[in-house]
Structure 1
Amino acid sequence: MGSSSVSGDGEAQLQNTTKAKHGGWITFPFIIATLAGLTLAGGGWLSNLIVYLIEEFHIYSIDAAQINNVVNGCTSLFPVVGAIIADSFLGSFTIIWISSLISLLGLILFLLMATVDGLRPQNCQNNSSLCTAITPSKAQYAMLYLALTLVAVGLGGSRFTMATMGANQFTRAKHQETYFNWYFFTLYLATVASSTAIVYVEDNVSWAWGFGLCIMANVLGLIIFLLGKRYYYIDRPQGSPFTRLAQVIVASFRKKKVTVSSQSPDYYYGDGIQKKIDELPTKSFRLLNRAAVKIEGDILPNGSIAKPWNICTVQQVEDLKTLFRILPLWSSSILLSTSIGIQLSLSVLQALTMDRHLGPHFKFPAGSLLVFSLVSTSICLSLFDHFLWPTCKKIIGRNSTPLQRIGIGHVFNVASMAVSALVEMKRLATAHSHDFQGSVVPLSVFWLVPQLVIVGIGEAFHFPGQVALYYQEFPTSLKSMATAMISMLIGIGFYLSTAVIDLFRRVTTWLPNDINNGKLDNMYWVVAVLGVINFGYYLLCACLYEYKNVETVETDEIDRQTENRL
């Protein structure tokens, strides 16, 4: 066995020994409690952001939806940045506590804006939720955007890094799977709690009390996290997979004049790794194979790489090819996130113009409306695991594939946009028949629930399906990118939703500040038609795609079933 293999085994044994002394289930309460606290703090401001911008800063409703989408996009893209920094420089533990502090600073600014009159515009005299008469000053805008930047960076930096650090506490895959189940359950539960309880306090008591609760949850989560430090297995930075992929592109460009060889000995497989003579790089994206071709000066006498940006291993090249093969499928899901971003932000604007009373005394918070999507996703995930997939296995003799689940998610997403258009037609008809422009339409806000439930069901199909696909198809060195791919997908989708809304506001009259005078239903119909076209693109990509690790997945499934019988 080569020297690198021995070295690798020794490092793995040392890591397992370290995890035996640190990590394990003793860390579980600390990490889950931290996740709950930080999620409560983040959901408390994020769920009600549109309402806050309209009521407290008198920002036009469509502009508020735009800002909300940008912030959501940031909280989804920052985890990727946080993961790169954690892998390459600081480690997960440091990223989490620094992000928690940054989030806390942003929440303190929100509390100051809620309590100090000079830090926000004066309230409207008529107390209308659509008041835009008193615009914020440049200093007030600067304070708002600084606070939004801090809380977005803090939430994005800790959310998925917490998932990685928690999984690193366990050495057995079964324990990691159990941890992830609890992680997502806690994430959804805390989000629902913040979107209802804290949002209710903000709407019916005061924004100061709401932000105060967010601060308390953030501080409590940070304290609990730091108290568990002596029990954690703290991972050391190992280098980002993005850097290794970038090295392939740079090395292949530098060797653009090198001829691609058909002989296995001409390629570099790694220090001490012996390969069969017929194991050549794959022929797809053939030009990338140049990055692994050995030329004079690339390899040191001991067999290691002289300059990592001049030559790469064949495995690095194949890893990048895997990413390129899956990119078309990944890109077909961008419009899914875009349409969801459009729907969620505009649904809050619709809710602000509808009757939100439950009985004579309770008024349903507009920002809490999105809870119906979260709850439907959670319920469906539970039903899928315990009923749908086992039934599917009994009827057709095999499990559904990730591509099939993603496809079903596309269908539900299109259906949700169509239902949104129909409901908006009903809302506008009611508003026009009663001449209720600029005030509350006599139509219950719960007319919006079906579209949110349908999109939630779609998420239960396509997001887990994508995670399963990426984890199944990516090589071991890129497994950590599965979550990053989803996070990037959501972030890009929210940014595109901002661009799409801005485009339609500029070229049409569908999206005025008073949506009772607009044609929001046309917006939904356009998104639905685009969804149908995108579904056709997805079907084409899915038909052309070939699974690379089907045998491994089937073997794992057989082993899992055997273990369950025993």
Structure 2
Amino acid sequence: MESGELMIRPGPSVASKPDGHGGWRAAFYIVVVGFLERIGFYGVQGNLIMYLTGPLGMSTAAAAAGVNVWAGTVQVLPLIGALAADSWLGRFRAVLAAGVLYLLSLGMLTVSSALEASQPLAASSPSSARLAFFYVALYLLALAQGFHRPCIETLGADQFSPSDGDPGARASRSSYFNWFHFSISWGYAASTTAVSYVDDNVGWTVGFGVCWATMVLCLAVFLLGARTYRAEQPVDGSPFVETVSAWAARVFHRKDDSGTEWLLDRKPEEGKGLVVKLLPIWLCGMVYAAVTSQVYTLFTKQASTLDRRLGAATGLVVPPAALQCLVSFTFITMLPVYDRAFVPLARRIAGHHAGVTTLQRIGAGMAMSCVAMVVAALVEARRLRVASDAGLIDRPDVAVPMSLWWVVPQHVLIGLAGVLGDIGLEEFFYDQVPDALRSVGLALSLSAMGAGSYASGMLVSVIDWATRSSGQSWFSDNLNRARLDYFYWLLVGLVALEVTAFLHFAKRFVYRNKTSCDP
């Protein structure tokens, strides 16, 4: 070894065992599993704020902050699930463990709702024991998601390996991310329309029961495709653990049993250099997630105040959470266009296998989220004017004479942002980590989204405290006296700063694989 050269203690490499055929045949099962899992999981998350402010009697600010904290946990826990999969369980068994946790948690939520429904109407709030039971079930659901999401999507991407000698594997894998999200978008749409309708018109217990039954089917489909999967084997001694050990050794100058000092490799894609490279993109993704998290919190509460009738003749009233399906339908509509029309055209122009680089795709999504919040702020300002003109300022129980169609554009724009930003972040982090840590890479993307939800929850809580102490809260339970439009404008400013910072870092980023940025 040359003088001054740094080294890292070698760890075992990842072994790839072809348990099946791989390719699109195996990916098909995983795409179907993604669809079913989203129905079961998002059937809870999509309408959670209405359950908290309804049967559980929470205030709007407390419920929004609570949902943001839980949603943040949902997207941070994949780091734990991914580490367990990459270093111990393997992705296949991690998904199986997630299935068991899903059935347990959704069963508990169904029982919790049934107990709540059996209480007399005079009861003002649930008992501490029932509330604790509900939250244990809710966070078990988050843990199940932590094992499922990074591992199932990564397992699907693993079915397309360029190392097999297939020249089209990289392009197929990029296409897989699009089609996986196309599938889960149908799951989102089904959950936010059908399941939320059941919640509002049949009962929460039945709604949670539907989610549980869907997870039973999801697990069955996953097992049905088991023989076709190419499964990545877990590594004894995760590279992540080796890297952390190397960092600690460098700080404390520790040596192993043979007397060799552990130091970090100079390669930029390893250890400390990897973290330094990815952290700015992760932080920008966190701000982006804080904006998009408003869809299942404040956008839903905003929609609940509008005239949601689908024509006087039909008598149908759209559940507030059902408007979230607009995001899903945007994915469903635009992803085939993106994958089958835009990508081939951009590929011919730029020569890139995916049409554009992942960072270009992410940046476009972030910019689109800024436009979405501008529209949301303008629509909310109009809603407040209409409520004032109709004399409904102090009548929050009466629908504002303003059609629900006014909030359609902001949902569609968030959907467009997701088509670009969400999928771009996932593909970027999957591709920019070592091969042995693919699940962790995807979990890093999800953790950025989770940190954004935490940030949104903290921002709501701080602003609620500051504005309540000086007068009327921006998040008043009476939304006709709230100022959600001010909050939306604040988010516009934050995301504008985020886009500026992202462009700075993206221009200087060096991809781990040359093929990630070049033809």
Sort the TM-score into its range (normalised by shorter chain). Answer: 0.7 to 0.9
SS of the residue 2:401 aligns to: strand
> Cα–Cα, structure 1 residues 483 and 20, in superposed 2: closer, same or farther, change >3 Å?
closer
What corresponds to 1:456 in structure 2?
A: 415
Q: Which residue of 2 aligns with 1:438?
A: 396
Distance in 1 between the 2:32 and 2:339 partners?
A: 25
Rounded Cα–Cα distance in structure 2 between residues aligned with 1:113 and 1:473: 42
* CA distance in structure 2 between the aligned counterparts of 1:475 and 1:152, rounded to whole angstroms: 26
Corresponding position: 1:513 with 2:511: no
Structure 2: which amino acid aligns with 1:438?
Answer: P
Give the structure 2 partner of residue 410 of structure 1: 366
Question: Shift of residue 349 of structure 1?
Answer: 0.6
**Counterpart secondary structure, 1:482:** helix
Aligned residue identity for 1:376:
T
Deviations 1:495-527 (A, max 9, x none): 111000001100012111111111111111111
Matches of 2:186 and 2:275, distance apart in 1: 33
Look up the SS of the partner of 1:364 in the other structure: coil
The answer to whether the 8 A contact 1:319-1:474 is kept is: no
Q: Name the counterpart of 1:324.
A: 276
Deviations 1:421-456 (A, max 9, x none): 110011111111222232221111221111111122
Look up the match of 1:387.
341
Could you say which residue in structure 2 is the equivalent of 1:560? none
2:205 pairs, out of 208, 211, 223, with 208
The one-letter amino acid of 1:251's match is A
- 2:379 aligns to what? 423
The residue correspondences of 1:222-233 to structure 2 (distance < 5 A) are: 222-229=219-226, 232=229
1:136 pairs, out of 118, 126, 129, with 126
Check conservation: 1:319, 1:475, Cα contact below 8 A: no
**Structure 1's 236 and 395: CA in aligned 2 closer, same or farther, altered over 3 A?**
closer
Alignment partner of 1:193 is 2:152: no
Alignment of 1:49-198 (within 5 A): 49-117=48-116, 122-123=120-121, 134-168=124-158, 171=161, 172=164, 173=169, 176=173, 179-198=176-195
Structure 2 equivalent of residue 337 of structure 1: 289
State the match for 2:35 in structure 1: 36
Q: Report the secondary structure of 1:333's partner residue.
A: helix
1:197 and 1:363 map into 2 onto residues whose CA distance is: 13
Which residues in structure 2 correspond to 1:468-507 (within 5 Å)? 468-471=427-430, 473-507=432-466
Correspondent of 1:246 among 229, 244, 250: 244
Task: Give secondary structure in 2 for the equivalent of 1:332.
Answer: helix
Q: Is the 8 A contact 2:110 2:208 kept in 1?
A: yes
Q: Aligned-pair distance for 1:471?
A: 4.8
Residue 217 of structure 1 corresponds to 214
Does the 8 A contact of 1:417 with 1:525 survive in 2? yes
Q: Is the 8 Å Cα contact of residues 377 and 484 (structure 2) preserved in structure 1?
A: yes
Cα RMSD of the aligned pairs, angstroms, is 3.1
Q: Is the 8 A contact 1:39 1:187 kept in 2?
A: yes
Contact 2:154 2:438 in 1 (8 A): no
Q: Is the CA contact 2:174–2:427 (under 8 Å) kept in the aligned structure 1? A: no
Corresponding residue of 1:363: 317
2:515 paired residue number: 552
Structure 2 equivalent of residue 278 of structure 1:
none
21-30 or 236-245: which moved more? 21-30
The alignment status of 1:532 with 2:496, answered yes or no, reads yes
Gaps of 5+ in 2: 1-10, 468-472
Identical columns (%): 30
**Which stretches in structure 1 are left out of the alignment for 5+ residues?**
1-6, 125-132, 256-290, 292-296, 301-305, 558-566
Greater RCO (CA < 8 Å, at least 6 residues apart): 2
Deviations 1:133-154 (A, max 9, x none): 9222212221221121122212
| Residue deviations 1:353-406 (CA, integer Å, cap 9, x gap) | 111111232111111111112222343333233333444455677754433333
Change in 2 beyond 3 A, CA 1:20/1:57: closer
**Partner of residue 330 from structure 2, selected from 370, 376, 379:** 376
Provide the TM-score with structure 2 as the length reference: 0.84
Deviations 1:239-265 (A, max 9, x none): 43431331231122123xxxxxxxxxx
Partners of 1:57 and 1:441 lie apart in 2 by: 25
Task: Pick the structure with greater CA Rg.
Answer: 1
- 2:290–2:453: 8 Å Cα contact kept in structure 1? yes
Q: SS of 1:443's equivalent?
A: strand
User: What letter corresponds to residue 139 of structure 1 in structure 2?
Assistant: A
Deviates more, 1:517-526 or 1:26-35: 26-35
Partners of 1:481 and 1:177 in 2: CA distance: 18
1:236 to 1:474, Cα distance in 2 relative to 1, 3 A: closer
Decide whether the 8 Å contact of 1:19 with 1:170 is kept in 2.
no
Native 8 Å contact 1:342 1:501 kept in 2: no
SS of 1:442's partner is strand
Question: Structure 1 residue 61: deviation in Å?
Answer: 1.9
- Hey, what's the Cα distance between the residues in 1 that align with 2:73 and 2:335? 26
- Label 1:170 to 1:466 Cα distance change in 2 as closer, same or farther (>3 A): closer
